[in-house]
Amino acid sequence: MEQQDLLAELRRRSGGQIVTFKADQWRAIEALCHGTVPVLLVQSTGWGKSLVYFAATLALRRKGAGPTLLISPLLALIRDQLRAASALGLVAESLTGENAGEWERITAALAGDAVDLLLVSPERLGSEAFLSGRLSGMLGRVALFVIDEAHCISDWGHDFRPDYQRIRRLLAARLRPEVALLATTATANDRVAADVAGQLGAATRTLRGPLSRESLRLQAITLPARADRYAWLADTVPGLPGSGIIYTLTTHEADRLAGWLRRCGLTVDPYHAKIADGCGLEAAEHRRRREEALRSNRLKALVATTALGLGFDKPDLAFVIHVQRPASVLQYYQQVGRAGRALESAYGVLLAGREDAGIVESFIANAFPLEDEVRAVLAALTGAPSGLTVAHLEATTELPGAEIDQMLRRLAAADPPPVSRVGSRWALSDVPYRPDPARITELARHRRREWGRMTAYLRTWGCLMRFLVRDLGDHQAGRCGRCANCLGRPLLPTRPQRSSVAAAQAYLGRGSLL
């Protein structure tokens, strides 16, 4: 379809909300529709990356091409994408744990070419039964393959996921060479973008736009004592407009801080991966309900770990506050960027404490399993040709199940992989295990350099927004004119009231001095 014809169709389908394409949106759509080169979009949150793949899907389907296959990392994000696609009249489906009862119907619809857009998680790509069974009716007809949140492909980024590495093998082995490829992200510095582009193909066209967020008003405050930060939140959050997110580094901190803020009369809930006893749909449902409570402004804030990250969209989120420094600029930008997507002004405040460095160093030190632990798991698998479940390996090796699961996912992402998964079981493959200690060492050094940039952000006298986006590869950014440093004055108070500090110290007890 020509640009004006496609716009007219989208304008009609959106009730007039879509009026025009940004220049890079049309460049990407045009490249995808002609199938010339892979496209990597590195554009800010709210820029309209989803419009690119929705519009390209519509145009390709109008030409009689096959469906779009979209890899998306989180259930919350998949739900939002399904709603957005359906609002444009696209027939969109997903195959997730939430809708297992619909899989037979959806599989039949895929086989009959009655689906325009299918969304799946990257974890599904590790299942041969899933690929050969559920997707067998469409893989040979896929016209557009989309990798959303593509920074997850790169282990140089802030949110590497081993299952994303399998995408390369899927591209090579299952999809036609002429399939159009699109990868999208808002959080990729030059190194991550180059890594992702290289994995997509040497001819990948990268379209990178400005990353400055005009609505965000940034401020960084050092409050070493935890009680001071708790008191600052009790003093400040009630006067902030709207609702927001308060980020912590650990689940324990999220629970403890939520309890304090509730005691201060604020309507808040904690949000993290261990939010409910049990697992699967039960825990997911707890998190979904809390997301919806924030979206509908029934909560002042969610006190969250990184579990509330990719996939959560609330355009009128009025503030994002970190009570501890995140591990990298990439991670901080992704999280603080959730605020102010549809507002003229929103706050992004970083509170730094003395315990931050120790927590982040612990994350870095424990990011990779010890060699003895890897060999213990592989030894357990040696005597089990039909494979073992994670639960069985946990009992055999006495290692935590979550650690074993992450270890095996990393091993399965290697090329070629020394392990493979069949259903719920893991088994050794014919490929010998080859450790790469040099890469692990370099990745740890890289993580520490990233942490150093967060420390530099806290200490800079220059524009805070410019600092962030230049670290992310937007080298043309100027001063934002809105942050505390640009204005030369605090946006919000920099110290809590003494009475609030005393109350926080009483709540925290001996830990208040940390």
Of the pLDDT bands very low, low, confident and very high (cuts 50, 70, 90), residue 392 is very high
Q: Are residues 427 and 482 in the same domain?
A: no
Q: What is the DSSP letter of 433?
A: P
Q: Supply the CATH number for residue 375's domain.
A: 1.10.10.10
Q: Are residues 130 and 62 in the same domain?
A: yes
Q: Are residues 220 and 194 in the same domain?
A: no
pLDDT-above-90 percentage for the chain? 58
pLDDT digits (tens, 9 = 90+) for 298-311: 999 999 998 887 66
321 vs 406 pLDDT, higher one: 321
pLDDT digits (tens, 9 = 90+) for 56-86: 999 999 999 999 999 988 777 888 899 999 9
CA 102: distance to chain centroid?
Answer: 26
Average pLDDT over residues 244-259: 96
Average pLDDT over residues 266-282: 74
pTM for the structure as a whole: 0.86
Tokens coding 321: 């506050």
74: containing domain: 3-208
In whole angstroms, give the CA distance from residue 413 to residue 25: 32
Q: Closest by alpha carbon to 491, among 274, 249, 240?
A: 240
In whole angstroms, give the CA distance from residue 65 to residue 142: 8
Q: Is residue 423 part of a domain?
A: yes
Average pLDDT over residues 465-472: 94
Q: Are residues 251 and 378 in the same domain?
A: no
Q: Measured on CA atoms in the order 413, 415, 420, 422, is the torsion positive or negative?
A: positive
In whole angstroms, give the CA distance from residue 511 to residue 478: 41
| Number of independent structural domains in the chain | 3
**Residue 164: exposure state from Cβ atoms within 10 A (0-12, 13-18, ≥19):** buried
User: What pLDDT shows up at residue 276?
Assistant: 62
Q: Are residues 58 and 191 in the same domain?
A: yes
Q: Is residue 485 part of a domain?
A: yes
Q: Kindly report the average pLDDT of the chain as a whole number.
A: 89
Q: Are residues 398 and 461 in the same domain?
A: no
Angle between helical axes of 464-471 and 437-459 (0-180°, round to 10): 160
Say if residue 281's pLDDT is above 50: no
Least confident of 135-139, 161-165, 237-241, 448-452: 161-165
Q: Are residues 40 and 134 in the same domain?
A: yes
Average pLDDT over residues 110-132: 85
User: What pLDDT shows up at residue 513?
Assistant: 45
Residue 143 CB partners (closer than 8 Å, separation 6+): 60, 61, 65, 66, 67, 68, 179, 180
User: What pLDDT shows up at residue 311?
Assistant: 66
pLDDT-above-70 percentage for the chain? 96
Q: Closest by alpha carbon to 51, among 65, 41, 63, 62?
A: 41
Q: What is the DSSP letter of 220?
A: E
